[in-house]
Amino acid sequence: MKSKLLEWFGVITAIIYSMMVALNIGIEFVGFLLLLISAISIGYWAYLGQHRGILFLQFFYATAGIIGMVRWY
């Protein structure tokens, strides 16, 4: 159950992040924060399930989230 919760929490936060950035309404910092949270959630899910490709991808998404927050702050 914990695994499914992590997976879907990460998916939902990534969807919200995408919409926040795409709408360009001045809440990009919060959007990038959600990207970081999503990457951590999905990364942990991938680690638990031994999905190494997805885990590797989440490191890049987390990095993009951090860069986005630094640049928009």
Spatial separation of the C-alpha atoms in residues 54 and 42, rounded to whole Å: 8
At 58, the pLDDT band (50, 70, 90 cuts) reads very high
Report domain extents, the chain: 2-72
- When pLDDT is cut at 50, 70 and 90, the band that residue 37 belongs to is very high
Maximum C-alpha span of the chain: 37
pTM, to two decimals? 0.91
- Per-residue pLDDT tens for 1-29? 888 999 999 999 999 999 999 999 999 99
